[in-house]
């Protein structure tokens, strides 16, 4: 027996799909360059591109005076992110799957001061105080040839 296809069945099928498509997508560490403009919209900032022969740096400046710089390899992968400003950007947004690693390290840290995570797969450093935060994160194994960790700033 062939199942009947009605408009109500179509709605039940399309509704979850439409909800998934409506969710925001943001560029994140390890993600591709196609979603950088979504970061700009989410942060309500202006976007500026700086191109070099080894990467493209997408700088998003917010109205509050903050700046997030996303470094994209020639292959289109976000390999590094740096930020500074009066507040900390949405780290879950910009770190993507690496956010949990950072969160766990922060929970185990004792005292105050800079938070640094340095593993072969993920580097993260953040320091600062109210109205003056700075941070950087990169994927050491994803750095394009000729690019060093100090280029992500």
Q: Give the tens place of pLDDT for each residue, 63-115.
A: 889 999 999 999 999 999 999 999 999 999 899 999 999 999 999 888 888 99
Q: What is the pLDDT of residue 38?
A: 65
The confidence score (pLDDT) of residue 36 equals 67
Any domain includes 17: no
Kindly tell me if the per-residue pLDDT of 150 is higher than 50. yes
Domain housing 63? 24-151
Instruction: Tell whether 120 is covered by a domain.
Output: yes
The reported pTM is: 0.78
Structural domain contains residue 2: no
Asked whether residue 4 carries a pLDDT value surpassing 90, the answer given is no
In a domain, 4, yes or no: no
**pLDDT the model gives residue 88:** 92
Confirm whether 6 is domain-assigned: no
Domain-located, residue 3: no
67 neighbors 61 (Cβ within 8 angstroms): yes
How many domains does the chain divide into?
A: 1
Does residue 89 lie in a domain region? yes
Model confidence pLDDT, tens digit, residues 23-77: 333 468 998 877 666 666 677 788 899 999 999 999 999 888 999 999 999 999 9
Helix or strand or coil: residue 111?
coil
pLDDT score of 22 more than 80: no
pLDDT of residue 16: 34
40 located within any domain: yes
d(CA 38, CA 60): 11
Question: Distance between CA atoms of 39 and 26, rounded to whole angstroms?
Answer: 5
Give me the DSSP letters along 7-37. Answer: HHHHHHHHHHHHHHHHS-----TTSBGGGHH
Q: Do the beta carbons of residue 39 and residue 25 sit within 8 Å?
A: no
Q: According to the model, what pLDDT value does residue 148 have? A: 96
């Amino acid at each position: 027996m062939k199942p009947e296809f009605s408009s109500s069945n179509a709605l039940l099928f399309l509704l979850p799909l439409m909800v998934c498509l409506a969710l925001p997508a943001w560029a994140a560490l390890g993600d591709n360059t196609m979603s950088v403009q979504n970061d700009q919209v989410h942060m309500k900032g202006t976007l500026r591109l700086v191109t070099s022969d080894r990467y493209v740096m997408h700088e998003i400046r917010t109205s509050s005076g903050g700046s997030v710089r996303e470094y994209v390899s020639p292959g289109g992968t976000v390999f590094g992110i740096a930020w500074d400003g009066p507040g900390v950007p949405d780290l879950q947004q910009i770190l993507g799957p690496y956010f949990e690693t950072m969160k766990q390290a922060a929970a185990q840290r004792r005292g105050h001061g800079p938070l640094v995570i340095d593993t072969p797969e993920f580097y993260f450093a953040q320091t600062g105080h109210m109205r003056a935060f700075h941070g950087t994160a990169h994927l050491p194994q994803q750095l394009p040839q000729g690019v060093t960790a100090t280029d992500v700033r």
